[in-house]
């Protein structure tokens, strides 16, 4: 059993309780305007190019079969993304790691060998393993196998999900998931399609089904100024929380701009205007006050300094 992984982040403290190892899987059917992990969208391995790391050694130019690498005046390479096929030949000769492939196939055993290095920290902090992405359920068989292996090691297991997957995929994971970190991005169905690329009907239906099944769920709500950071959306979150009384709580995740740098390294262009900025602390606190007044159980005291998705 193999899955396509693009990162394994040890000592994570934002993706579930305690100290955790977060395994990021490739593949996602959504197209969020504010995506902070654009390298996760495509299920295929992708070339990443970091100009600042280039040492102008020139080793990459002769090995590119598509002549997709050009030399700048200072000798450093630049990628012609229209010609690049992502074959990865240039990566093999780039000792400076300016050129890297994002995404590699790993077995369950290979991933677990990394995860288990920090077992003592999980035990001490109540942590464990979290699967994120992309959308982890884009690779449901690998998710089930990896979480099954983690459960066999008595680890706490969390899954961060957009909610867009077949219900039977969620159903399969119920026995091996201790906590679903459920991203809820937009209440209005039409705006959800405009901002996210898909309607929210299946996402909401899966959320309700998980709640009925007795799953432990933390509702995580990214808030993006000029987009979903509206009173109507906050009211929609509150209404949904009242409908689902057994939620562990609601977490507000203020917008940040870290995804922009990743887009540049992948040869992609942001669809978010430069005018969209992370919210200040006063704005974030106003969201939290609004939700508290409606009886929403918040699990964070988010500030702009902690702003993250």
Model confidence pLDDT, tens digit, residues 53-85:
999 999 999 999 999 999 999 999 999 999 999
Backbone angles phi, psi at 100, to 5 degrees: -140, 150
Strands 69-71 and 156-161: unpaired
| Whole-number pLDDT of residue 306 | 38
| Whole-number pLDDT of residue 188 | 97
DSSP run (H or E) holding 196: helix 189-196
% of residues, the chain, pLDDT over 90: 93
Does 309 score more than 60 pLDDT? no
DSSP run (H or E) holding 159: strand 156-161
pTM of the predicted protein model: 0.92
H, E, C per residue of 250-283? EEEEECCCHHHHHHHHCCCCCCCCCCCCCCCHHH
Output the DSSP codes for 21-58. EEEEE---S---TT-S-GGGTSSS-EEEE-GGG-----
Q: Give the burial class of 21: count Cβ atoms within 10 A of its Cβ; 0-12 exposed, 13-18 middle, 19 or more buried.
A: buried
What tens digit of pLDDT does each residue of 244-285 get?
999 999 999 999 988 899 999 999 999 999 999 999 999 999
Q: Where in the chain is the domain with CATH 3.20.20.70?
A: 2-43+104-306
Does 304 score more than 70 pLDDT? no
% of residues, the chain, pLDDT over 70: 97
Averaged pLDDT of the chain: 95
Task: Quickly name the fold that domain 2-43+104-306 has.
Answer: TIM Barrel (3.20.20)
Does 195 score more than 70 pLDDT? yes
Spatial separation of the C-alpha atoms in residues 203 and 241, rounded to whole Å:
15
What tens digit of pLDDT does each residue of 97-142 get?
999 999 999 999 999 999 999 999 999 999 999 999 999 999 999 9
Strands 179-183 and 217-223: parallel
Class of 47-100 in CATH:
alpha beta
Q: How many other C-beta atoms lie within 10 A of the C-beta of residue 194?
A: 12
């Amino acid at each position: 059993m193999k899955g396509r992984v693009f990162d394994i982040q040890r000592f994570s403290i934002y993706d579930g309780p305690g100290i955790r190892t977060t395994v990021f899987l490739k593949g996602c059917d959504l197209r969020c305007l504010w995506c902070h992990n654009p390298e996760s969208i495509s299920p295929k391995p992708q070339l990443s190019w970091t100009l600042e790391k280039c040492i102008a050694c020139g080793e990459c130019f002769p090995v590119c079969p598509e002549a997709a690498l050009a030399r700048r005046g200072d000798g450093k390479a630049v990628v012609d993304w229209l010609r690049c096929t992502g074959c990865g030949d240039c990566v093999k000769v780039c000792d400076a790691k300016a050129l890297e492939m994002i995404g590699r196939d790993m077995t369950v055993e290979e991933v677990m060998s990394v995860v288990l290095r920090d077992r003592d920290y999980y035990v001490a902090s109540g942590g464990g393993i979290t699967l994120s992405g992309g959308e982890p359920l884009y690779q449901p068989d690998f998710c089930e196998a990896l979480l099954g292996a983690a459960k066999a090691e008595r680890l706490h297991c969390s899954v961060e999900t957009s909610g867009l997957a077949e219900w039977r995929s969620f159903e399969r994971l119920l026995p091996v998931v201790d906590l679903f970190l459920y991203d809820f991005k937009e209440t209005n169905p039409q705006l959800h399609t405009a901002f996210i690329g898909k309607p929210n009907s299946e996402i909401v239906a899966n959320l309700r089904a998980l709640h009925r099944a007795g799953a432990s769920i933390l509702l995580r709500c990214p808030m993006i100024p000029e987009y979903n950071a509206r009173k109507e959306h906050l009211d929609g979150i509150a209404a949904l929380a009242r409908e689902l009384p057994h939620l562990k709580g609601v977490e507000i995740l203020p917008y940040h701009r870290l995804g922009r740098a990743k887009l540049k390294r992948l040869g992609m262009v942001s669809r978010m205007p430069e005018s969209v900025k992370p919210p200040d602390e006063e704005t974030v606190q106003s969201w939290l006050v609004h939700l508290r007044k409606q009886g929403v159980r918040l699990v964070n005291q988010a500030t702009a300094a902690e702003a993250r998705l």
